Amino acid sequence: MIKIQKRLGGLFDLDKKQNKLNKIEKDLQNKEVWEDYKKSQNLNQEKILLQKSLKQWKDFDYKFLSIKDLLDCIEKDQKNGESLLTDVTKELTSIKNLLSTLHTQYFLSQKYDDCNCYVSIHAGAGGTESCDWAAMLSRMLMRYSKKNQFSTEILNTNDGDEAGFKSIHFLVKGKNAFGLLQSESGVHRLVRISPFDSGARRHTSFASVFISPELKDSEDVNIKTDDIRVDTYRASGAGGQHVNTTDSAVRITHLPTNTVVQCQNQRSQHANKDQAMKMLKSALYKFAEQKKKKEQDMISETKKSNQWGSQIRSYTLCPYQLVKDHRTGEESGQPDLVLDGDLDKFSGAFLKYRSEKKNGE
């Protein structure tokens, strides 16, 4: 068991993390660091995350040793062995859950994994059905974000004619938001008995999800003024007297790539333009990455059309219940839980799939 502990410690780079934490704590004792507000804030945040990660390992280490002690007791005391085995089972379940968390964190090591992210959802083939499906997906991703203690901010919506959304865009803020949510990038397919069909027939709907990281201020994405067109319009939807009284909503079109972003959630045109520029910067980064790294199929899949044969995941509610990810083979027979934001197993499987795919190239 001690050998296993040492192997796991090496796998999660514990010595490296501890050395990094020691260096940060030493840097924070330097007065010059505190004169730079952003630098000191970043170091403090990194310190907190490293402390949390190391604490999780210490918890794992403690539970591991507890099982060893319990097994030794069982060996010495055969009479009370059965009751002790119950305790061992509980500890093993706890260790399994903690190891799963550590395992996921191990794979969250690629560039921008720790960033906030933008989520764009577009209804595909299927009319009202797909608009409703887009709304269901937005709810699922917001629930998943909430379970991970991320905050969400709706930036723009385009309501469907009868129900749901033709498109919805929102920002997810939190450590590793992009890393955990990028598993959802692609086309999602739903099969169900339509609530909008009086004949109660089975319908198939599609919607695409596109996830891009919110780049930090230091990231250099060059956007020329001549390459963009800025349009303003009146915001729509609930919002009191402000809505539909001023041209506060902003739409920006990047002409060379025909990339369009829009924002209407802020009260001022200036604030909406600032947020829209951040969204454009993020979208153009992803566009450049796709062009530069064609071999990254996980990203290029998000550009597939919203129709048959292009989905990354299928949600079947009728005639049987099953959610299946076509990239990883991960399945769940409880679609209700998945649609309520229970995406951990799909996110974890995708991160492992991404890592294996990268190492195999």
41 in the same domain as 24: yes
Query: 319 preceded by cis ω (within 30°)?
Result: yes
Residue 286: pLDDT over 80: no
238 in the same domain as 273: yes
135 in the same domain as 19: no
Cβ atoms within 10 A of the Cβ of 315, count?
23
Q: Assess if residue 129 is contained within a domain.
A: yes
Q: Assess if residue 203 is contained within a domain.
A: yes
Going by pLDDT thresholds of 50, 70 and 90, the confidence category of residue 135 is very high
197 in the same domain as 182: yes
Sign of the alpha-carbon dihedral angle for 284, 290, 296, 298: positive
Q: Assess if residue 97 is contained within a domain.
A: yes
**Dist. CA 316–CA 334, nearest whole Å:** 10
Domain-terminating residue out of 84, 107, 130: 107
- Type and span of the H or E element at 324: strand 322-325
pLDDT of residue 11: 46
In this predicted model, what pLDDT tens digit does every residue of 161-193 receive, in sequence order? Answer: 889 999 999 999 988 899 999 999 999 999 999
Output the domain CATH number for residue 254.
Answer: 3.30.160.20
pTM more than 0.85 = no
Q: What is the mean pLDDT of residues 318-336?
A: 94
pLDDT of residue 241: 44
Domain-terminating residue out of 87, 107, 127: 107
Domain boundaries, position 72:
2-107
- Both tokens of 353, joined, read 């799939």
In this predicted model, what pLDDT tens digit does every residue of 110-129 receive, in sequence order? Answer: 778 888 999 999 999 778 99
Output the domain CATH number for residue 167.
Answer: 3.30.70.1660
- Both tokens of 3, joined, read 């050998």
Q: Assess if residue 220 is contained within a domain.
A: no
Helix (H, G, I), strand (E, B) or coil at 354: helix
Going by pLDDT thresholds of 50, 70 and 90, the confidence category of residue 1 is very low
Q: Assess if residue 284 is contained within a domain.
A: yes
100 in the same domain as 10: yes
137 in the same domain as 18: no
Going by pLDDT thresholds of 50, 70 and 90, the confidence category of residue 67 is confident
Domain-terminating residue out of 267, 292, 317: 292
Q: What is the mean pLDDT of residues 290-299?
A: 53
Going through 80-235 in order, the beta strands assigned E by DSSP cover 117-123, 151-159, 165-173, 186-193, 202-213, 228-233
Cβ atoms within 10 A of the Cβ of 6, count?
11
310 in the same domain as 207: yes
Helix (H, G, I), strand (E, B) or coil at 64: helix
Q: Assess if residue 74 is contained within a domain.
A: yes
305 in the same domain as 202: yes
Q: Assess if residue 112 is contained within a domain.
A: no
331 in the same domain as 193: yes
pLDDT of residue 4: 46
Q: Assess if residue 158 is contained within a domain.
A: yes
Total tally of structural domains belonging to the chain: 3
145 in the same domain as 6: no
152 in the same domain as 25: no
DSSP 242-308: GTTTS--EEEEEETTTTEEEEE--SSSHHHHHHHHHHHHHHHHHHHHHHHH-TT-HHHHGGGS-SST
174 in the same domain as 153: yes
